[in-house]
Amino acid sequence: MLDLTPKEISPRNALRINPCKTCQPVGALYAALGVRRCMPHSHGSQGCVSYHRSLLTRHFKEPAIAASSSFTEGASVFGGGANLRTAVKNIFDIYDPDVIAVHTTCLSETIGDDLSTIILDMQVPEGKVVVHANTPSYVGSHVTGYANMLAGFIRYLARGESSSGGAAAVLPGFLNPGDLRELKRLLKLVGLPFVMFPDQSGVMDAPMTNTYEMYPQGGAAIEDIRALGSCAKALALGFFACAEPADVLEKKCKVPNLVLPLPIGIMATDELVMAAAEAAGTQVPAELEEERGRLLDLMLDANPYFYDKKVAVYGDPDTVAGLTGFVLELGMRPAYVLTGTPGEAFTRGIDAQLERFGVKGCKVKAGADLFELHQWIKNEPVDLLLGTSYGKQISKAEDIPLVRAGFPILDRYGHSYMPIVGYRGGMLLAEKIAGALMDRQDRDAADEDLDVVM
C-alpha cells in the first residue's frame, strides 16, 4: 500500500503515519533487562506489556520477561496502588527476583499514581529492591524511556560509599548485546577498569542450553549499580539515552561525566578510545591501532562504490547521529536524516556534522515519521536506505537497497550479535553497505557489463 504514498507533501502537525519510534515503556523494559535478576514491571494494563515484550522478543529473538499490574476498569478509575502492591508481593513470592523495576504507562500516568509513595509504603522482603521510573508513552520515545529507567535505578541505588576501585562508570546507550560486548573488549584493551550499566549481554543473547533460565547470568548486578556512585568518572555514550542518567549520577554522587557520541565510525570510536585511555592513564594499544588501520583500508578500497552516493538515514537519534557520521566518513552524501524522537539537540548535532564535511542540502528532522521520508524520496530519490526494518516498504515501493541497522530489526536474524560500534563494527557495517550497493549495480548491469572482478 505504501506505493500509493502521495508525492505532494501537506503539513501535518497532529498526525504521525508510520512513526519512526515506539513508546517509552519499551525502552524502560529493555533497560531493566540489563540488570541481573531483575523483573521489569509494567504499571498498567496487560495489553501494554504484551506489546512491549513482543517487540523486544521479535528484535532479539529472545524471550523478554516482564510482569504487569493488570489494570481493569476499577484500577483505571480509582488508581492502581492496590494492584501494584499485590503484584510486587506475588512477583517476589513466585519469581524471586533481586529487584523489580516498575515503569508507568499512559494509563497510570494519566490517573496520576504516586509510585514513590506507593513503593515507600510497601512491605519489601529483606535484601530485595523495588525501583521505578515515570515513562508516559505520550512523551518522548523508547529512547526517553530507556534514559528515565537508568536515571531511576541511579536515584534508588547509586551510593558514594560503595567500592568501585576507582573504576569508570560506563553508560552504554541503547545498543544491542553484540555492541556491548565490543565496547567491553575495547575498554579492556585500553586497560580501563569500568562498571557498565546496564548490560544486556548474556541476557538478550543468552546461549541455547537444555534448560530455560528466567534470569540468565548476564546483566549489571545491584552491587555494580551501587558502586556507580564511587566511580572516578562516568562515560555516557549517546546524548539522548545517557546524558540525563549521567547528570543524575553527578548531582547525587558527585561523579563527573563526559557525554560522548555512540562510537560508530572512525572519529566517534577515536573519541571513546582516547577518553578511555586518558581515564586509565594508558597508551592506545597497537592492537586497536591495527584495527583502525584495517577499517581505513576497507574504506579506501571500496571508496569508488561509496563516493557521492545519496543515503537516507533514520531511526533512534543517537544511532542515527553515529550512522550519519560514518556515511560521511565513507564519502557518501546524506540526503535525509530523521528520527521519531523529538528534540532540537538532534538537528543541531546533525547540522554540525554536515557542516564539518561541507555537505549541503540535507533535510534533517526530529519528531518525524517514515511517511514523510517516503514523500521526500518520491520527490528526490536516494541510492540507499540505512535504518530499521520499518523502511522495507519504502525500499520495495521505490526499488532502493536497504541496509538494516538500529532498533528494531524484526525481519532478519543475527543482527543483535553483530556490532556496529568500534572499528570492528565499522568494518562489518561498511561491508554491508558496500555489498548492498554492489549487488544493486550487478542487478542493473547489462549482461556484457556483468563481471566477477570489481
Is there a single domain that holds both residue 375 and residue 409? yes
Domain boundary among 258, 283, 308: 283
Is there a single domain that holds both residue 279 and residue 301? no
CA distance 258 to 235: 5
The confidence score (pLDDT) of residue 163 equals: 64
Residue 139 CB-density burial (10 A; 0-12 exposed, 13-18 middle, 19+ buried) = middle
Measured from the Cβ of residue 359, the count of other Cβ atoms closer than 10 Å reads 15
Decide if 17 is inside a domain. no
Residue 330 CB-density burial (10 A; 0-12 exposed, 13-18 middle, 19+ buried) = buried
CA distance 327 to 434: 11
Kindly state the cell numbers that stand for 28: 524502560
Decide if 385 is inside a domain. yes
Decide if 349 is inside a domain. yes
Domain ranges, residue 108 = 24-139
Decide if 145 is inside a domain. no
Q: With b meaning 16 or more CB within 10 Å and e meaning fewer, what string describes 102-133?
A: bbbbbbbbebebebeebbeeeeeeeebbbbbb
Decide if 356 is inside a domain. yes
CA distance 362 to 334: 6
Is there a single domain that holds both residue 311 and residue 425? yes
Is there a single domain that holds both residue 179 and residue 193? yes
Question: Phi-psi region for residue 11, left (φ > 0), alpha (ψ -120 to 50) or beta?
Answer: beta
- Write the CATH number for 32: 3.40.50.1980
Decide if 157 is inside a domain. no
CA distance 353 to 5: 31
Handedness of CA 212, 213, 214, 217 (dihedral sign): negative
The confidence score (pLDDT) of residue 1 equals: 55
Is there a single domain that holds both residue 295 and residue 328? yes
Decide if 153 is inside a domain. no
Residue 35 has what DSSP assignment? B
The confidence score (pLDDT) of residue 235 equals: 98
In a structure prediction context, what are the per-residue pLDDT tens digits for the chain, which is 454 residues long? Answer: 567 899 999 888 888 899 999 999 999 999 999 999 999 999 999 999 999 999 999 999 999 999 999 998 877 777 888 999 999 999 999 999 999 999 999 989 988 889 999 999 999 999 999 999 999 999 999 999 999 999 999 999 999 876 666 799 999 999 999 999 999 999 999 999 999 999 999 999 999 988 999 999 999 999 999 999 999 999 999 999 999 999 999 999 999 999 999 999 999 999 999 999 999 999 999 999 999 999 999 999 999 999 999 999 999 999 999 999 999 999 999 999 999 999 999 999 999 999 999 999 999 999 999 999 999 999 999 999 999 999 999 999 999 999 999 999 999 999 999 999 999 999 999 999 999 999 999 999 998 888 887 6
Is there a single domain that holds both residue 265 and residue 295? no
Is there a single domain that holds both residue 340 and residue 412? yes
> Can you give the pTM of this predicted structure?
0.95
The confidence score (pLDDT) of residue 13 equals: 82
Is there a single domain that holds both residue 326 and residue 431? yes
Q: What is the DSSP string of 158-181?
A: --TTS--TTPEEEE--S--HHHHH
What is the number of domains present in the chain?
A: 3
Kindly state the cell numbers that stand for 444: 542493473
The confidence score (pLDDT) of residue 416 equals: 96
Is there a single domain that holds both residue 310 and residue 442? yes
Decide if 421 is inside a domain. yes
The confidence score (pLDDT) of residue 2 equals: 64
